[in-house]
Structure 1
Amino acid sequence: MKLPNGVTGFYSAKHNKPPTIDEKQFKQICFSLISSNGGEVLDFKEPQVATNFFDVEAKVFNKHLHILLNVHYPFMAFAFDVEYGKITFIDEPELFKQFSPFYNVLNTIELNAPVLLRLGSKKSIVQNDNELNSDELEQIAYWKPERIGEIIFNYWD
């Protein structure tokens, strides 16, 4: 997958500000789909200073899980556990189907794909297909994420 400009949430005045997701629409879709499956939304966390994603905690299909959505692009993922700096991504096939008309739902193969770094080279530090700006590349050089999912859903400040 190609990582678009601004997906990390970092940009400067010289780079175009990335788009933002419609929070109200996301909230409505989550509550609607989770309740129609007999589930319950337990918590809805907006992105904080050090995060670039929404985190919806839910109980559905007798499972406790998190629905993550990047704040700038319609990249969605499901996770079993979401802790500072550590997200355990999971596949949830039924929710994948239901959310796919609205968002680009990523699977664990995409999310756990390795980040190919070339440290010491400022211009092409990330070897994965990307349109990342220089501010994002600086953050990646600092944080050294190992998986693509750690770039799309990050705890960088």
Structure 2
Amino acid sequence: MILKRGVTGFSAGDLSLERDWVALTAEFKKYCYAYVQKLNGSILAFYEPDIDLGYAHAHVKINREELYIFHNNMYDDIAFTSNCEIGGLKFIDHELLGALFENHYTVLTASQLAEPLVYQTKGSGIVLMNENELNDVELRFMKHFRSQTVGDLVFNYWD
């Protein structure tokens, strides 16, 4: 299941979901450099998580192809994109990088992240039909920011 409680970065005060983002980001950065270098690629830029984006990501170039590697710190999920347009990420699969990252992370596929969100309003609440454990805050933000896919939730820009 991808849509675990807190995957959006909004834990609704659940302290059991607290993680050391500095250490997780440092580890992700280390693996990015090692794996991209192993494929004779280079890191063009590295972006730390901040108040607006709750996930780190790297802009890389491998064999003349530029792509991005995204890391969801809440559950150590990795995804690859062909762009970095906040709110319009185009998820892709990268077989070679995926094989390297899967030793330490859960590598999400483009088809998993493209899964449409199916939800309905029930009274003052929201019922998400996709398999999920999201909290009420995440469900409200999902509706408010008009999230359309699983990828929109996991790698959101809810500002």
* TM-score by shorter chain over 0.5: yes
Mind listing any 5+ residue stretches in structure 1 that lack a counterpart?
none
Contact 1:6–1:17 at 8 Å: present in 2 too? no
Give the structure 2 partner of residue 9 of structure 1. Answer: 9
Q: After the TM superposition, which segments of 4 or more aligned residues of structure 1 sit over 6 Å from their partners?
A: none
- Work out the CA distance in 2 between the residues paired with 1:37 and 1:121: 52
Mind listing any 5+ residue stretches in structure 2 that lack a counterpart?
none
- Work out the CA distance in 1 between the residues paired with 2:30 and 2:123: 44
Residues 99/3 of structure 1: CA separation in 2 closer, same or farther (3 Å cut): same
Contact 1:54–1:70 at 8 Å: present in 2 too? yes
Contact 2:87–2:156 at 8 Å: present in 1 too? yes
Give the structure 1 partner of residue 91 of structure 2. Answer: 89
| 1:33-83 superposed Cα distances (whole Å, 9 cap, x missing partner) | 111111101111012222222110000132100000112111110000111
Contact 1:68–1:76 at 8 Å: present in 2 too? yes
Task: Please state whether the residue corresponding to 1:34 is helix, strand or coil.
Answer: helix
After TM superposition, the score normalised by the length of structure 2 is 0.90
Deviation at 1:16, TM superposition (A): 3.2
After TM superposition, the score normalised by the length of structure 1 is 0.91
Does structure 1 residue 18 correspond to structure 2 residue 20? no
Contact 1:112–1:149 at 8 Å: present in 2 too? yes
Task: Please state whether the residue corresponding to 1:87 is helix, strand or coil.
Answer: coil
- Work out the CA distance in 1 between the residues paired with 2:138 and 2:123: 14
Give the structure 1 partner of residue 101 of structure 2. Answer: 99
2:12 aligned partner, one-letter code = S
Give the structure 1 partner of residue 59 of structure 2. Answer: 57
- Work out the CA distance in 2 between the residues paired with 1:138 and 1:8: 12
Task: Please state whether the residue corresponding to 1:30 is helix, strand or coil.
Answer: helix
